[in-house]
């Protein structure tokens, strides 16, 4: 029972008063940051890093991890309450979460987001502890061709995110991919579709698109239909989940956790796929799939669990290979290296306090977030009782400052105006924003993996079929596409027949 | 919110707000967090060294130094962002042999900054040799093995931190020495490239020693050859390129630069603090562990160094025929 | 034939953007499948977008009717006027000396003016006043600082909702100024000019 002994050792480290305190600070700050649009965890963590100077490495890392999870929690709060997704994973949460809030079930949506995430966090912490090094092999078995196919599958299933016509939403996915091509070509340095605008040379800003197409467009639409917003601010609803909601959420949380745990291990895009992969799964597997689009609790429970599970397991490559998958993890590596610790395969033996302490504190952090967030649900929901005429200018200003602060450049503000108007137009034409955003995020990664796969295969496309992982992904994508298109085609044919008859 | 409450907040909030904001504008540099742009993905030497320097400067300047990764196109994307930023001392870039030496020649006509005139160069931080590493299961122990693999029908794939890096040029020049072009696989930085090598997707990699050092020590990759004149003191077992019959040596360098027009006192201050940080025994120990030598140039000296590097690489790139495509 | 106007317009957007993209992409080399040039992936995605646009177009011809809300001639006229005046204002500003033509101000001025013109029509107000207020924030932020920018854009956006009262707006402005100062300046210390700079 090595695992138990190790975990006990870890809890011994994590549960010291000092570490608990820093874990709490991290979680609080992270939650606050997640709520603010445009302010990401990287900037905050860097700002707060000095607090941990003079503290042991374990303490610093525990606080950083707290901020990281806290930001994930906070992000879903604004997505549910205000339709403001600050990052890719919360785009999915807006789909059902915001609809639930409009039905007066904001309390239930926030509660299940917190509970689901906690469960997922607990499960994936155990997973990391029990089989971290083994799971690294999963990450290492993915080559460029496999990543490309995984992302292609992601794009195909993201069309399911849409409520309306599948063809239109695939169209939007592809448009998102095209939009992702704007900027400097990573490989050749060629400026593509930038019209000589230097601000576009690093691509169109994700936050600008998300704030414009979701936040600003939603404000405009709400102002256009005064009747719906009076309903919204009037109906706060019960905070508690009903027994039925609990019952419906359990299988979704389990599925989301499993999917998220696997995808999180894959560096470079896996975690981004987790939440909407889970959404897709729920829409296909849930008994209540007809409720999707009007606020189905499964559509919050699954993706939120998946997201949190993925953010835990994405530590595995860092801890076992020593290679950070994203900027937040790079900060952690930085913090370790400054203290003279090199993350990597030897860290488990060389620094057992740090390794097991971190794993235990992952769980403690999740517990703390639950304790912080459940009472806050009531407060957040009260925010909805603020009259909308006071609400919308505040949302607008927060978006504007957040967007500006990304680069300290007003160009981003104007870009957001543009996407606000575009988002309004899209919603009038029933073109969906969520698939477009996912295409936008995955597009550039796909291009990179596609190029690399072809370089390695000497230009042979068969590589996508010869590699078993890739072939499986492509097969699933094909089946999913067929399953989605068939009813659509049949409906079209029926309509045509009805027309003819 | 009730009127009474709002009034109270207003009264409580406005007055200190006025006072503090006035005070802030009068303060001297640095009054705000400093942004240090790393033009590569996390996990490479640029990133590693930048984080060490950021921590050192943070402590000495008393403000946060935020490291921001902006990778792409041979480190030119991140460098361009800095070249365009306000020269107020709050935006710095980890300038390096790619962004301020080789890329301007490799990405001819596509780089929209001048590596010399668009920057106030501040300090050279580290120089280090290049090392070629291989996946332990790839069956490549020596450069002869590598050459044999390159000449076989399957060819040899070599990963690098990106086109325009010194590693890219190493790959091109090595191919010319072997007499068979190597299959250059560029990544967004040494971090992702190293991961592909450890996973065995790419058998070999050319990397700056600091980012490879820990992976070599941990045994996840094996060091095949060091591109330095003599064997490296930190890795005395690793033979040089020259010992193995290939006359190649390549050092890469990393430094701090700010947008052109940054006030001289600020440049002077950053330079002074960087030098003090580099002189610390802990830093020296860490650097020698990473296999790098701390830099000791004045701001003028570093600017001159960059000018000479850009000029020196242009004909070499031309001769090698290295292109990003 | 029951034409689905919404789908028809969606198809038009997808197809026209794809065509523009493909046209712009002619500047970029395609490369080979082995060594893809910068034009390869954009070509793939724009072609796919074009094909999907055409499919949507095909469906739209008999999946209707799904008409758009009717626009009055006044709405259309002011929309076009907004576009024209906005463009003119932007181009004009670019040729003016000083502040008007510096940085992204011509773009901001064009957007602001272009959005203000159609918002004369009441039914356009939610869309264009919010957009104008956002653009105004961008225009004012750097020259006159955060506080003035908040005040101006909140006041402008308040016009988009008729239930606002002047005193309520004033209260909101003060509240937001204090809140934003506390959160963004005091706590997060982001780099934004707070007060007018002379």
Residues B178-187 pLDDT 10s: 888 888 888 8
The two three-digit tokens of residue A234, written as one number: 């009037």
Residue B246 binned pLDDT confidence (cut-offs 50, 70, 90): confident
Higher pLDDT, A320 or A425: A425
Calculate how close chain B gets to A297, using CA atoms only, in Å. Answer: 30
Q: Which chains touch A (3 or more CB pairs under 8 A)?
A: B, C
pLDDT of residue C162: 79
pLDDT of residue A501: 35
Residues of chain B with Cβ-Cβ distance to C195 below 8 Å are 21-22, 25
Write the residue in C35, C186, C191 that is nearest to B325 by C-beta: C35
ω into A406 cis (within 30 of 0): no
Taking only residues 77 to 96 of chain A, the set having a beta carbon closer than 8 angstroms to any beta carbon of chain C reads: none
Average pLDDT, chain A: 80
Calculate how close chain C gets to A174, using CA atoms only, in Å. Answer: 6
pLDDT of residue A389: 83
Indicate whether this complex's ipTM tops 0.90. Answer: yes
Residue spans per domain, chain C: 5-60, 73-187
Closest chain C residue to the Cα of B11, Cα to Cα: C178
Residue A161 binned pLDDT confidence (cut-offs 50, 70, 90): low
**Torsion sign (Cα): B175, B181, B183, B184:** positive
Alpha-helical runs (H) found in A289-409:
298-313, 315-321, 327-338, 347-350, 352-383, 388-407
pLDDT of residue B4: 43
* C-alpha–C-alpha distance, residues C102 and A492, integer Å: 53
Taking only residues 175 to 214 of chain B, the set having a beta carbon closer than 8 angstroms to any beta carbon of chain C reads: none
Average pLDDT, chain C: 85
pLDDT of A269 above 70: no
Calculate how close chain B gets to C38, using CA atoms only, in Å. Answer: 8
Q: Does the beta-carbon distance from C130 to A396 stay under 8 Å? A: yes
The two three-digit tokens of residue A232, written as one number: 């919204």
Q: Is C40 on the interface with B (CB under 8 A)?
A: no
Higher pLDDT, C3 or A164: C3
Q: Is C134 on the interface with B (CB under 8 A)?
A: no
Alpha-helical runs (H) found in A15-56:
17-35, 41-48
- Provide φ and ψ at A130, rounded to 5°: -80, -40
Residue A483's contacts (CB-CB under 8 Å, 6 or more residues apart) are none
pLDDT of C189 above 80: no
Crossing angle between the packed helical segments A352-383 and A57-82, to the nearest 10 degrees: 30
Q: Does the beta-carbon distance from A171 to C14 stay under 8 Å? A: yes
Write the residue in B64, B73, B76 that is nearest to A46 by C-beta: B64
What length is written for chain B? 325
pLDDT of A282 above 80: yes
Residue A140 binned pLDDT confidence (cut-offs 50, 70, 90): confident
Q: Does the beta-carbon distance from C37 to B325 stay under 8 Å? A: yes
DSSP helix, strand, coil percent of chain B (3-state; round to 5): 45, 20, 35
Q: Does the beta-carbon distance from C188 to A171 stay under 8 Å? A: no
Tally of structural domains, chain A: 1
Write the residue in B1, B58, B69 that is nearest to A330 by C-beta: B69
- Provide φ and ψ at A194, rounded to 5°: -100, -10
- Residue written as token pair 């390549």: B250
For residue B64, how far is the Cα from the chain centroid?
Answer: 20
Measured CA to CA in angstroms, residue B162 lies from B158, B186, B200, B249 at distances of 11, 4, 18, 19
Residues of chain C with Cβ-Cβ distance to A178 below 8 Å are 17-18, 21, 42, 45-46, 49
Instruction: List, in sequence order, every residue forming a beta bridge with B255; answer none if it has no partner.
Output: B95, B124
Q: Tally Cβ neighbours within 10 Å of residue C58.
A: 14
Beta strand ranges found along chain B (DSSP E): 34-38, 65-69, 91-96, 119-134, 157-160, 183-186, 204-208, 222-227, 251-259, 293-294
Higher pLDDT, C45 or B321: C45
- Hey, what domains does chain B have and what are their CATH numbers? 34-128+251-320 (3.40.190.150), 129-227 (3.40.190.10)
Residues B26-47 pLDDT 10s: 458 887 788 888 888 777 888 8
* C-alpha–C-alpha distance, residues B314 and A363, integer Å: 54
Write the residue in A396, A451, A455 that is nearest to C157 by C-beta: A396
Residues A338-353 pLDDT 10s: 666 767 666 777 777 7
Q: Does the beta-carbon distance from B47 to A144 stay under 8 Å? A: no
Residue B232 DSSP class: B
Q: Are B97 and B190 in contact (CB under 8 A)?
A: no
Write the residue in A49, A141, A337 that is nearest to B64 by C-beta: A49
Closest chain C residue to the Cα of A406, Cα to Cα: C190
The two three-digit tokens of residue A290, written as one number: 């007809």
Angle at A413 between CA A407 and CA A419, to 5 degrees: 120
Residue B263's contacts (CB-CB under 8 Å, 6 or more residues apart) are B29, B87, B89
* C-alpha–C-alpha distance, residues A73 and A80, integer Å: 11
Percentage of residues in chain B with pLDDT exceeding 70?
Answer: 91
Name the residue range of residue A303's domain: 2-500
Q: Does the beta-carbon distance from A393 to C158 stay under 8 Å? A: yes
Average pLDDT, chain B: 83
Residues C86-127 pLDDT 10s: 888 888 888 888 888 888 888 988 999 888 888 888 888 888
Residues of chain C with Cβ-Cβ distance to A405 below 8 Å are 184, 188, 190-192
Candidates C42, C139, C191, partner chain A, best to mutate (most A CBs within 10 A): C42
Continuous segment of H or E residues that includes residue A486: helix A468-500
In a 3-state reduction of DSSP, which class is residue C44? helix
Residue A446's contacts (CB-CB under 8 Å, 6 or more residues apart) are A148, A151, A152, A155, A177, C41
Residue B161's contacts (CB-CB under 8 Å, 6 or more residues apart) are B40, B44, B98, B167, B186, B187, B188, B189, B190, B193, B207, B208
pLDDT of B205 above 90: yes
Residue A82's contacts (CB-CB under 8 Å, 6 or more residues apart) are A98, A215, A218, A395
Closest chain A residue to the Cα of B65, Cα to Cα: A46
Q: Tally Cβ neighbours within 10 Å of residue B302.
A: 26
Write the residue in B59, B64, B81 that is nearest to A202 by C-beta: B81
In a 3-state reduction of DSSP, which class is residue B256? strand
Calculate how close chain C gets to B14, using CA atoms only, in Å. Answer: 7
Residue A359 binned pLDDT confidence (cut-offs 50, 70, 90): confident
Taking only residues 158 to 187 of chain C, the set having a beta carbon closer than 8 angstroms to any beta carbon of chain B reads: 171, 174-175, 177-178, 181-182, 185-186
DSSP helix, strand, coil percent of chain C (3-state; round to 5): 75, 0, 25
């Amino acid at each position: 029972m090595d695992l138990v002994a190790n975990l006990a050792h870890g809890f011994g480290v994590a549960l010291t008063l000092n570490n608990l305190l820093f874990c709490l600070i991290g979680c609080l700050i992270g939650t606050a940051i997640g709520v603010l649009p445009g302010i990401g965890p990287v900037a905050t963590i860097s700002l707060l890093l000095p607090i941990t100077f003079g503290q042991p490495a374990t303490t610093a890392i525990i606080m950083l991890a707290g901020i990281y999870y806290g930001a994930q929690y906070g992000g879903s709060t604004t997505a549910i309450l205000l339709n403001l997704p600050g990052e890719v994973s919360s785009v999915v949460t807006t789909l059902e979460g915001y609809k639930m809030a409009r039905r007066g079930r904001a309390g239930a949506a926030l509660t299940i987001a917190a509970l689901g995430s906690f469960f997922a966090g607990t499960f994936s912490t155990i997973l990391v502890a029990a089989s971290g090094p083994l799971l690294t092999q999963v990450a290492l078995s993915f080559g460029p061709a496999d990543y490309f196919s995984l992302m292609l599958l992601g794009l195909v299933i993201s069309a399911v995110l849409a409520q309306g016509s599948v063809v239109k939403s695939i169209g939007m996915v592809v448009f998102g991919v095209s939009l992702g091509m704007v900027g400097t070509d990573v490989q050749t340095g060629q400026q593509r579709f930038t019209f000589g605008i230097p601000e576009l040379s690093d691509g169109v800003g994700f936050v600008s698109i998300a704030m414009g197409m979701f936040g600003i467009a939603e404000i405009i639409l709400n102002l256009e239909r005064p009747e719906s917003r009076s309903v919204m601010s009037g109906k706060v609803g019960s905070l508690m989940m009903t027994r039925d909601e609990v019952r419906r959420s359990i299988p979704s949380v389990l599925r989301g956790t499993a999917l998220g745990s696997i995808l999180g291990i894959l560096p470079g895009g896996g975690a981004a796929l987790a939440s909407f992969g889970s959404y897709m799964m729920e829409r296909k597997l849930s008994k209540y799939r007809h409720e999707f689009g009007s606020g189905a609790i499964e559509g919050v429970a699954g993706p939120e669990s998946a997201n949190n599970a993925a953010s835990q397991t994405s530590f595995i490559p860092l801890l076992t290979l020593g290679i950070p998958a994203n900027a937040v993890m790079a900060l952690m590596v930085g913090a370790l290296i400054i203290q003279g610790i090199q993350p990597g395969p030897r860290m488990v033996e060389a620094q057992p306090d740090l390794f097991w302490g971190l794993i235990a504190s992952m769980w403690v952090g999740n517990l703390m977030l639950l304790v912080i967030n459940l009472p806050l649900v009531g407060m957040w929901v009260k925010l909805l009782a603020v009259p909308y005429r006071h609400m919308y200018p505040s949302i607008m200003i927060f978006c504007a400052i957040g967007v500006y602060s990304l680069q300290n450049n007003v160009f981003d503000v104007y870009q957001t105006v543009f996407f606000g108007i575009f988002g309004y137009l899209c919603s009038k034409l029933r073109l969906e924003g969520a698939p477009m955003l996912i295409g936008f995020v995955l597009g550039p990664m796909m291009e990179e993996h596609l190029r690399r796969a072809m370089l390695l295969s000497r230009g042979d496309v068969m590589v996508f079929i010869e590699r078993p992982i890739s072939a499986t992904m492509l097969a699933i994508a094909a089946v999913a596409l067929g399953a989605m298109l068939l009813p659509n085609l049949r409906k079209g044919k029926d309509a045509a027949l009805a027309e003819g008859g | 919110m009730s009127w009474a409450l709002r009034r109270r907040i207003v009264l409580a909030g406005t007055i200190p707000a006025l006072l503090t904001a006035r005070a802030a504008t009068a303060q001297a540099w640095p009054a705000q967090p400093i942004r240090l742009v790393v033009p590569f993905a996390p996990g490479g030497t640029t990133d590693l060294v930048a984080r060490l320097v950021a921590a050192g400067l943070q402590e000495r300047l008393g403000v946060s130094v935020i490291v921001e990764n902006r990778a792409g196109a041979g480190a030119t994307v991140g460098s361009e962002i800095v070249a365009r930023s306000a020269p107020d001392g709050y935006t710095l870039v980890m300038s390096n042999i790619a962004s301020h030496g080789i890329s301007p020649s490799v990405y001819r006509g596509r780089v929209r900054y001048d590596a010399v005139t668009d920057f106030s160069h501040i300090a050279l931080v580290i120089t280090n040799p290049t090392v070629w590493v291989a996946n332990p299961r790839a069956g490549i122990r020596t450069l002869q093995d590598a050459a044999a693999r390159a000449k076989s029908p399957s060819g040899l794939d070599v990963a690098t931190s990106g086109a325009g890096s010194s590693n890219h040029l190493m790959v091109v020049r090595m191919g010319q020495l072997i007499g068979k072009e190597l299959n250059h696989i560029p990544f967004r930085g040494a971090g992702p490239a190293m991961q592909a090598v450890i996973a065995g997707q790419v058998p070999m990699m050319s990397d700056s020693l600091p980012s490879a050092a820990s992976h070599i020590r941990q045994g996840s990759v094996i060091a095949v050859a060091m591109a330095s004149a003599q064997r490296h003191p930190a890795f005395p077992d690793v033979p040089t390129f020259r010992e193995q019959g290939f006359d190649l040596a390549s050092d890469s360098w990393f430094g701090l630069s700010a947008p052109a027009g940054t006030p001289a006192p600020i440049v002077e201050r950053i330079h002074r603090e960087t030098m003090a940080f580099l002189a610390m025994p802990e830093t020296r120990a860490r650097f020698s562990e990473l296999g790098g030598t701390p830099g000791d140039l004045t701001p003028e000296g570093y600017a001159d160094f960059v000018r000479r590097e850009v000029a020196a690489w242009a004909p070499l790139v031309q001769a090698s025929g290295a292109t990003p495509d | 034939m029951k034409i689905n106007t919404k789908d028809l317009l969606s198809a038009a957007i997808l197809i026209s953007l794809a065509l523009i993209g493909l046209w712009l992409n002619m500047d970029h080399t395609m490369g080979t499948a082995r060594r893809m040039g910068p034009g390869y992936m954009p070509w793939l995605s724009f072609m796919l977008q074009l094909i999907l646009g055409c499919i949507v177009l095909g469906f739209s011809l008999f999946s209707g009717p799904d008409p758009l809300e009717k626009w009055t001639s006044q709405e259309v006229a002011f929309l076009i006027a907004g576009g024209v005046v906005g463009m003119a204002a932007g181009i004009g500003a670019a040729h003016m000396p000083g502040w008007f033509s510096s940085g992204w101000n011509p773009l901001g001025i064009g957007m602001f003016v272009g959005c203000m013109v159609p918002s004369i029509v009441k039914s356009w107000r939610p869309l264009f006043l919010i957009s104008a207020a956002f653009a105004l924030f961008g225009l004012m932020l750097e020259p006159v600082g955060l506080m003035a920018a908040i005040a101006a854009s909140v006041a402008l956006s308040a016009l988009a909702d008729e239930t606002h009262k002047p005193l309520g707006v004033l209260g909101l402005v003060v509240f937001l100024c204090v809140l934003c100062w506390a959160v963004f300046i005091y706590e997060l210390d982001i780099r934004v000019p707070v007060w007018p700079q002379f």
